[in-house]
Every structure is written in C-alpha cells, then in structure tokens.
C-alpha cells in the first residue's frame, strides 16, 4: 500500500484484517514514526484497535522503503494524495506517477498495480505506459479500485461496502483482486468488474451525484423557509420514493471535506477536457461555494445585522462529526467573516481544534467544551452536528449564555423546545 493517509491506512488495515499481509509505505517521516510507534495520526473510530491488532498479528507493517515493500507483492495499491492543482482544479497526479515509476523499478514478478486514490479517467492507462517504459521486461496489469469509504465510518464502509468496483481488462488481475477481497464475496457484497475507464469515472460520478443531492436539498431548504414548509418532511416525502432514496437529503451549510469539493471540480475538468458538458455538476460547485461563503450572513442577520462587539459561540469546526478533518469545512468562511465583522468568536470542537488553528483567524478563542464556549455569548451557532451537541440541555445553554440567539445550521435541536426555553431559534429549512 503506497501511502499511509486516510485511504491507504484504512484500506491497508482492513485488507490485513481480511487475512492478507500488508506493507504500508509512508514517505512523511513524522507520520511514519507515529505509525511505527502505534500512534494513529488521524482520528477515525475503530482504526486504532484494528491497526494495533493486525500489527501484533504480524499481518501489517509500516516502512518508507517502496522497493522492500513491493518486491514480492501480488498487488500494489497506489493510495497517495491527489490534491487539486492550484489554478486549474485538475487533480495533481505527480505523486501517483512518481509512485508508479518507483514501484515499477522494484517489482520482481507479475503484479497488479491498482489505483485506490481517486484519479481522473485515463490515469490507469497512463500508469501502464509509465510502468512499461520503466520496465519493458515486467509482467503486470493495472486496475482501478476506487474507494467509497466515508470519514468517521471508514472501517464499516470498507468491511461491509454497498459495492466494490474493480476496473481491469485482465482475468489474471481479476483473480488476484478476488483473492484479496475474499471475505466480501462470503458476505455477498456486490463486486462489480468493469473496464478501467469505467471504474475511474464511477468514483467521480458517485461523489458528484451525492454532492448534487445535498445541494438540491439545500436549495429546497431555502425555498421551504420562504414558503413556510418543513424541509425534513419534504426530504422524507421524496426520499421514500425508492428511485430517490432517503439518504444524503440532510440540509446544512454546504458540503465540505477532502472529497466532494475536489471531486466535483475534477469531474467538471474531466468533462471539459473530453469535450463534454458537465453543466449540472458545474452548477453544484458554484451553488455550494456561494452557500458556504454566505452562511455567516445568516448569523449576522439573526443578530440584527451588526455583530461588532458581540460574542458568538461556534459549536463544531470540522467538516462533519467523528473526524478531525478541517479540509474545506464550512466553518472556515463562517468564522473568518464573524471575526472580520468585529465579533469575538468562542469556538469548541471535540477533535478538530489543532487542525483548525492554522485555518482560522488568530483571534478565535478555543474553549474546553460547548458550555464553556456558550458562556457569556450573545449568540450560538452550530456548524457541525457532533452528538454531544445534540444532547445539550437547552436550559443549561440558556443559563450559560448572555444573549438568546441560536443559529442551528445542522438542525440538531427541536425548534419547539428551544423556543420554549426562550431562545430566538433559527434553523435550516424549517418554519420559524
């Protein structure tokens, strides 16, 4: 497994749990040292235990030497980062191609070279070319095996997937992949064998569709506010239609994270390069960016249009609960604007504080817990729906705060209970 980031580490640990021998290669010395000492550099429920147990069982190891790790491997997964390239939104594939070349040099016999990172259509074929150019003598196949796991429930998603997609043109490679995923055949998880380009595109299409679903319900939520409808009932009303489905219809401040923003943008670029239109997804990108940028205005409006000198508590900073990931989190533009407009921001996040510090204004005060953040605040904003915020007693919040404005961007509270407690309560897409 080349790359010990989110995807590499989770997939590596899970493949080891399936009974395979896995060597994870990590280039960042600090990350590698942490892994070798049994410290997991990311927060992901269950991952710690899974890594420890598989290391103890001798099935999982960490190192920095690609040659040593891949020499006798049956399959090599490339799971290095593919950040958005500055300027043009294309995925930056330099790490992927560099890894492919290093792997090619070190291989000793037939191997399947698999991309697990999300890579643009055509990357698999380009990797095959690189490997052929580097090692004309080598017997190998390439495959695309995109990962569909979610942060926060990554292990469950890997172990009990809705489906596994494997793109390859070789029966020999399919056989290797079948062996690696054997336990999933036993639980009858759908395993889809496709062509290389099809698998690559499926990943972008899946993420773009989910991003579109969220953007759709966000737009309906705004409409609900205008006409006095309740977005949760609308979501249920449409979601019970099996063709639509109930999931991913929860309104909020706009999607963030390391995947949807990057992958929607990349799909648009892929389409442009191929001379095709991706107007729907292009619109999703624009609408979501505008939504995140505009969310602070809701808070400012709830505070009467001026927040200079006010104290605002912000609950939740990460892009979603159960992660410490701050990438493209809606909290970034929200907090920046609140501080810029003269508010004192008291923030609390259960896991993301350290990741948040470099991304948020220096003036932000980081608090011990939700009640600490709310203490003396004129207004309170829920940005991320951590469970511990759902369970806060409204009376306790009310007693801690100086003011009574609550802007709940995740709809975690019951409007009736909040209003009964004396709050001026605003949420997303519900009648006020």
Query: Is 158 among the residues that bind ligand UGA (CB under 6 A)?
Result: no
Judged by CB under 6 A, the stretch of 22-30, 141-149, 185-193, 398-406 that binds ligand UGA is: 141-149
Does residue 123 have a known ligand-binding role?
A: no
Interface with ligand UGA by CB under 6 A: which range of 93-101, 146-154, 173-181, 271-279?
146-154
Going from the C-alpha of 250 to that of each of 282, 388, 409, 429, the distances in angstroms are 21, 19, 11, 10
Residue 319 lies near ligand UGA (rule: CB under 6 A): yes
Sign of CA dihedral 47, 14, 34, 367: negative
Q: Is 14 a catalytic residue?
A: no
Helix, strand, coil tally for the chain in percent (to 5): 45, 15, 40
Residue 249 assigned ligand-binding role: yes
Size of the site for ligand UGA (CB under 6 A): 21
Interaction of residue 79 with ligand UGA, rule CB under 6 A? no
Q: Answer yes or no whether residue 235 interacts with ligand UGA by CB under 6 A.
A: no
Q: Which is nearer to ligand UGA, 43 or 319 (CB)?
A: 319
Considering the complex, state which of residue 310 and residue 320 has its C-beta at the smaller distance from ligand UGA: 320
- Residue 14: closest CA among 87, 79, 102: 79
Among residues 25, 165, 221, 249, the one that binds ligand UGA under rule CB under 6 A:
249
Determine, following the binding rule CB under 6 A, whether residue 389 of this chain makes contact with ligand UGA. no
- 148 labelled binding-site residue: yes
User: Among residues 224, 259, 303, 367, which one is catalytic?
Assistant: 259
Residue in 369, 365, 371, 300 with CA at minimum distance from that of residue 333: 300
Q: Could you tell me the sign of the dihedral formed by the alpha carbons of 304, 308, 310, 311, in that order?
A: positive
> Contact between 209 and ligand UGA (CB under 6 A)?
no
Q: What are phi and psi of 209, to 5 degrees?
A: -65, -45
- Residue 358 is given by DSSP the state G
DSSP symbols for 379-399: EEEE-S--HHHHT--HHHHHH
Block residue for tokens 């000793």: 108
Determine if residue 270 is left, alpha or beta; phi over 0 gives left, psi from -120 to 50 gives alpha, anything else beta. alpha
* Smallest gap from residue 332 Cβ to ligand UGA (A): 12
For 329: left if phi > 0, alpha if psi spans -120 to 50, otherwise beta; the answer is beta
Q: Is 262 annotated as a binding residue?
A: yes
Q: Does 149 bind ligand UGA (CB under 6 A)?
A: yes
Q: Give CA 5 to chain center in angstroms.
A: 12
- Please give the annotated binding residues for NAD(+), written as ranges: 31, 82, 118, 151, 262, 327
- Please give the annotated binding residues for substrate, written as ranges: 148-151, 203, 248-252, 256, 320
Question: What does the binding site for ligand UGA look like in residue numbers (CB under 6 A)?
Answer: 118, 147-151, 207, 210, 214, 248-250, 252, 255-257, 259-260, 263, 319-320
The residues that are catalytic are 259
- Please give the annotated binding residues, written as ranges: 31, 82, 118, 148-151, 203, 248-252, 256, 262, 320, 327
């Amino acid at each position: 497994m080349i790359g010990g980031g989110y995807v590499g580490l989770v997939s590596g640990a899970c493949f080891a749990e399936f009974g395979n021998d896995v060597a994870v290669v990590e280039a960042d010395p600090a990350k590698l040292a942490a892994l070798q000492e049994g410290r997991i550099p990311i927060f992901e429920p269950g991952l710690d235990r899974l890594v420890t147990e598989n290391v103890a069982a001798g099935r999982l190891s960490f190192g920095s030497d690609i040659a040593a790790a891949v020499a006798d491997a049956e399959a090599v997964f490339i799971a290095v980062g593919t950040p958005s390239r500055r300027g043009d939104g294309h995925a930056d594939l330099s790490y992927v191609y560099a890894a492919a070349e290093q792997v090619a040099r070190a291989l000793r016999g037939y191997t399947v070279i698999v991309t697990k990172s999300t890579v643009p259509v055509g990357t698999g074929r380009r990797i095959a070319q690189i490997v052929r150019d580097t090692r004309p003598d080598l017997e190998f196949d390439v495959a695309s095996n995109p990962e569909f796991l979610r942060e926060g429930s990554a292990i469950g998603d890997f172990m009990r997937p809705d489906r596994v997609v494997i793109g390859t043109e070789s029966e020999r490679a399919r056989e290797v992949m079948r062996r690696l995923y054997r336990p999933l055949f036993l639980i009858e998880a759908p395993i889809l064998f496709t062509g290389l380009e099809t698998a690559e595109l499926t990943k972008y299409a899946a993420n773009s569709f989910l991003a579109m679903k969220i953007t759709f319900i966000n737009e309906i939520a705004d409409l609900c506010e205008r006409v006095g409808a309740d977005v949760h009932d609308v979501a249920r009303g449409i979601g019970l239609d099996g063709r639509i489905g109930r999931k991913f219809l929860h309104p909020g401040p706009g999607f963030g994270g390391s995947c949807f923003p990057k992958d929607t943008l990349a799909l648009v670029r892929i389409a442009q390069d191929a001379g095709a239109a991706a107007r729907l997804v292009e619109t999703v990108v624009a609408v979501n960016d505008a939504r995140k940028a505009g969310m602070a205005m809701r808070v400012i409006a709830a505070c009467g249009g001026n927040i200079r000198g006010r104290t605002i508590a912000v609950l939740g900073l990460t892009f979603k609960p159960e992660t410490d990931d701050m990438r493209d989190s809606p909290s970034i533009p929200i907090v920046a604007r609140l501080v810029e407009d003269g508010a004192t921001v008291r923030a609390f996040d259960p896991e993301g504080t350290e990741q948040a510090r470099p991304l948020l204004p220096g003036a932000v005060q980081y608090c011990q817990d939700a009640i600490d953040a709310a203490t003396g605040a004129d207004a309170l904003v829920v940005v991320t729906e951590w469970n511990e915020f759902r369970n806060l007693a409204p009376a306790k919040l009310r007693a801690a705060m100086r003011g009574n404005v609550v802007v709940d961007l995740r709809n975690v509270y019951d409007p009736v209970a909040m209003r009964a407690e004396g709050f001026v309560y605003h949420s997303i897409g519900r009648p006020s």
